[in-house]
Structure 1
Amino acid sequence: MRKKALLALMMAAILLLSGCALIKKDQAVDDATEIIRMGDQVITKKEVLAQAEQELYDQYSMYSMFGYSYDVSDPENIEAAKNSAVDTLKTSLALTAKAKELGLDQLSDEELESVKTTAQANLDSVIASAKAYVEGGSEMDETALAEAAAKMAEDAGYTLDAYIAQGTTDAISAKLKEYAVKDVAVTDEEIQAEYDSRVESHKSTYSESAGTWASAANNNSTLYYTPAGVRRVKQILIKFKDEDKTAIDDAKTKLNDANTAVTTAQAKVDAAQGTVDTEGISDEDKAKAEETLSAAKQELEDADKALLAANQAVTEATDKAFANIDEKADAVLAQLAEEGADWQKIMDENNEDEGMKDNEKGYAVATGMTNFDAAFVDAAMALEKIGDISPKTKGSYGYYIIRYESDEAEGPVALDAVKETLSSSLLTTKQNDAYEATKAQWVDEAGIKVDLNALKD
């Protein structure tokens, strides 16, 4: 599957990986050329080039994922892939040897069973995806389609044995990492230093941008400094009825189309007017241009009328939508106005905002927010004191009824509140760094010899 998808792109790279096509050589002998040796273990040129091809594919896939191009036939990219392949294979040799030396190269029955279960799940997922690419698959029954998809996956190298082998390698690697980092720890001094750094960074980032802080807080980001001007609010949303929301959306779509038509018509008018005003234009061409201009002006006039009507349609659809929820909103406000009214209870019974469910603190809100409806933010920030409730406020989704819950205290977050997060993050970084350094040391100590010149022939 992945190899077939890249066949055309990879062919040029394979030619370059294999050397100049004009040079006659014994392919079998060339493939068997020794490139890497550790003791009596040898990795051949063919194996290195196969790994380099995979490195190229991985780069191509990563770039494609983010919408960028990656030229797998570029000699510089191919050279980088070869070097990366050598490093990968050297590391694999060294780690395999080290795992055996430490007695970490065998999995327990329980570990092996876990590897097999994961491998089967991965293969099943690939086969399920492959069904969409089976030629004539829509005409097959489920059994035949599954068999064809499994064959396609197998042809592309996706097999249960391959997944088990990779899973086993990964499990052994995990054991090696656990061994290498067993003594790595994070000190209180390191946590304090990281805390101070993050506080200072967030203070610089958010001190003049409370709205950005509020948006990050609503996305559950870990924040280390709170600027002034942030408050928490809760709301009861009385949503438009589905049919009214659909009518509004349809009207807005037509409004967008009408705006586009006006823009297009205006461009035609400007172009035609420019032709008419051209110096030295012949009488015949000018007459044609004036005729075109007249038609364009008529088109613009018609487009302006259509735009006016589209705006009116949006207004009417919106007014109708609010009218249809007025009674419910007024009923909620009446409940809230009663002596001893329980906001939380009334909110739970009437709210149609999913974001309020299990949201104990409420939304973080500040002036300058751009990812919330401006009507909501303006109404929330207009409330004068904690406990105040807004009137029903027209918004993009219906009526907002907002309660001012609390203020966010300006200043750094308490260290105790983020200590566990910081410790975990620092430990992960230190462990990864330690493992990379240990792997490099193991490779250096393995006595691996590499003939890069033979790879260039």
Structure 2
Amino acid sequence: MKHLKKILALLLALTLLLSLGACKKKEGTGDDADPGSTVADDTVVAKVNDQTITYGEYIDVLNSYLQNYGLTDAYLDQFLGDQANDFRDSIMNELVSQKVILEQSKALELDTLTEEEQADVKEQVDGYFSSIKESIKAEVEEELEADESLELDVDEEVEKRFNDFIEQSGYTEEYVTQVYTESAILSKVYASIVDPVTVTDEEVKAHYDELLAEQQKNAEEDLDTAVSDYFASDALNVYVPSGFRYVKHILIKIPDEQYTEINTLRADDEEAADELYEQELEKLKPKAEEVLAKVKAGEDFDKLIEEYGEDPGMTTEPNKSQGYAVYTNASLVQEFKDAALALDKVGDTTELVASSYGYHIIKFVSEPTVGPIAFETVKSTVSDNLLNSKKVELWNATVTEWREGMTVEIHTDLFHSEAADSE
């Protein structure tokens, strides 16, 4: 289930994208947002009561999701196939939900801001435009530094480019203020619904017991997956599975320039890449063997990491104190992982282990204490998780109820792909 803050952030981000997209279309060239579409930007593709969503507004938000992958709506079908229209629907439903919430804000009498809230909006708007000017100024100063023959008054040039940005984008102060105002209204509506939600100690303990039973069962049935889940970035762990260990290593690294050259070469000439790789390993070997001899002589491994290690991760938290967690599905180079998992007992070290990065000397540092994590240790985290879950559940149910009480029209034929529908 999504974290509460992530959902609110999504709603606010959609408000920003939709509103700024709308203002851009009002001021823009009139060209279609998607060059492959025959639907005009101002075509209404959905309505919530009397509020409309245009194709231009929709495609702006859709493309904002896709731009991180270098995609546009025109290329969505070939990547998602018959699920492409499901993705389009999810974007449209988010936009409709936004309109529903803004409509409901009137009935809740939360559609206007207090003087304090307006002042906060003004501060955000001022901050937005200040950041734009700072970026432009940095750009101008960089150009002047690169070409000393340029004769520019920095302040005048920044103001000129800033005004050009406003004119071309349509991001006027009036419209940006509208964006942040709507965001503030969304926040107020959201808080009015979920702030009263609470959880009791009994509910938290029951949630802990449920998580514990589930995680223990998963560890018994599929240990590799259970360990991967344990290290997931959003994991709420109440049980420690077996199947992993912590290691530290001393890396004698292939220089960055040669490392890049090897990887670039490998795309076209595997044999030449292997030859260059072996040459670089040979150069590193005397130093690596010197360090290995010190390890075998019993010198302090942590001090040797500080003196010889070239992996920055080994000198930062949490790796500095604990080391790397190694398990079957860990995102580590295979040679490193195989050697680390082959060590027999805590304290053992490897011989030289070659990988694409250079030579590693790995030490088995510790194993986890397998079993339940004490309730009191994780009580606060479990409580937050349960509270957020209850808030999200209530919020989703409430928005659904509001939506069912409004007149909602969605014209899927205007933004669906026939190719995706036919698959």
Same fold (TM > 0.5): yes
Matched letter for residue 278 of structure 2: T
| CA distance in 2: counterparts of 1:387 and 1:422, whole angstroms | 35
Write out per-residue CA displacement over residues 286-330 of structure 1, whole angstroms, 9 at most, x where no aligned residue: xxxxxxxxxxxxxxxxxxxxx4x7644432332122224433443
Partner of 1:23: none
Q: List aligned pairs for 1:409-448, cutoff 5 A.
A: 409-438=369-398
Percent of counterpart pairs with the same letter?
A: 25
User: Taking structure 1 as the reference length, what is the TM-score of the superposition?
Assistant: 0.61
- SS of residue in 2 equivalent to 1:401: strand
Letter in 2 for 1:228: S
**In structure 2, do the counterparts of structure 1 residues 162 and 382 end up closer, same or farther at CA, with 3 Å as the change threshold?**
same
CA pair 347-70 structure 1, distance change in 2 beyond 3 A: closer
Q: Paired residue for 1:177?
A: 190
Q: Counterpart of 1:30?
A: none
Letter in 1 for 2:388: T
1:17 is aligned to 2:43: yes
Matched AA of 1:17:
T
Residues 310 and 170 of structure 1: is their aligned pair in 2 closer, same or farther, counting only changes over 3 Å? closer
Distance 1:397 1:255, change over 3 A: closer
Equivalent residue number for residue 80 of structure 2? none
Match of 2:268 in 1: 257
Counterpart residue number, 1:57: 60
Cα distance in 1, alignment partners of residues 409 and 289 from structure 2: 81
Q: Which amino acid aligns with 2:197?
A: V
Instruction: Say which SS state the counterpart of residue 349 (structure 2) adopts.
Output: coil
1:364/1:83 CA distance change after superposition, 3 Å:
closer
2:317 is matched with 358
Classify 1:145/1:384 alpha carbon distance in 2 versus 1 (closer, same or farther; 3 Å): same
Do the aligned partners of 2:245 and 2:367 also contact (CA within 8 Å) in 1? Answer: yes
Normalized against structure 2, the TM-score is what? 0.65
Contact 1:388/1:403, CA 8 A, preserved across alignment: yes
How many residues are aligned here?
362
Runs of at least 5 residues in structure 1 that lack an aligned partner in the other structure: 20-34, 38-42, 260-306, 337-341
Check the 8 A contact 2:208/2:375 in 1, yes or no.
yes
2-structure distance, mates of 1:415, 1:83: 39
Amino acid at match of 1:232: Y
Match of 1:118 in 2: 124
Structure 1, residues 110-134: CA drift from partner, whole Å, max 9, x if none? Answer: x433322222233344567789999
* CA displacement at 1:431 relative to structure 2: 1.9
1:38-437 equivalence runs, <5 A: 43=50, 48-49=51-52, 51=54, 53-65=56-68, 69-70=72-73, 88-89=98-99, 91-99=101-109, 105-109=112-116, 111-125=117-131, 141=152, 142=154, 143-144=156-157, 146-203=159-216, 207=220, 222=235, 223-235=237-249, 237-240=250-253, 242=255, 246-247=257-258, 249-251=260-262, 253-254=264-265, 256-259=267-270, 307=271, 311-334=274-297, 336=299, 342-356=300-314, 357-359=316-318, 360-366=321-327, 368-369=328-329, 371-437=331-397
Answer yes or no: is the 8 Å Cα contact 1:181–1:434 preserved in 2. yes
CA distance in 2, matches of 1:451, 1:395: 58
Partner of 1:113: helix, strand, or coil? helix
Any conservation in 2 of the 1:52–1:82 contact (CA below 8 Å)? no
- Conserved? CA contact 1:60–1:71, under 8 Å: no
Q: Which amino acid aligns with 2:104?
A: A
What is the deviation of 1:417? 3.5
Distance change (3 Å), C-alpha of 1:329 and 1:423: same
Give the distance between the partners of 1:87 and 1:247, measured in 2 at CA. Answer: 52
Q: Partner of 2:417 in structure 1?
A: none
Distance 2:93 2:279 in 1: 67
Bigger Cα Rg:
1
What is the RMSD of the two structures over their aligned residues, measured on CA atoms?
Answer: 4.7
Would the aligned equivalents of 1:99 and 1:172 in 2 still touch at CA under 8 Å?
Answer: no
Deviation, 1:184, is: 0.9
Are the structure 2 counterparts of residues 17 and 114 from structure 1 closer, same or farther at C-alpha, using a change threshold of 3 Å?
Answer: closer
Distance 1:159 1:207, change over 3 A: farther
CA–CA distance in structure 2, aligned partners of residues 57 and 255 of structure 1: 39
Distance 2:210 2:198 in 1: 19
Instruction: Summarize the Cα distance change of 1:377–1:112 in structure 2 as closer, same or farther, 3 Å threshold.
Output: same
Q: Is the 8 A contact 2:326 2:340 kept in 1?
A: yes
AA aligned to 1:160 is E
Cα-to-partner distance string for 1:322-373 (whole Å, 9 max, x where unaligned): 224433443454452xxxxx5444544543332222233322223x345223
Aligned to 1:264: none
Letter in 2 for 1:95: S
Q: Secondary structure at the match of 1:421?
A: helix
Tell me the CA shift for residue 95 of structure 1. Answer: 0.6
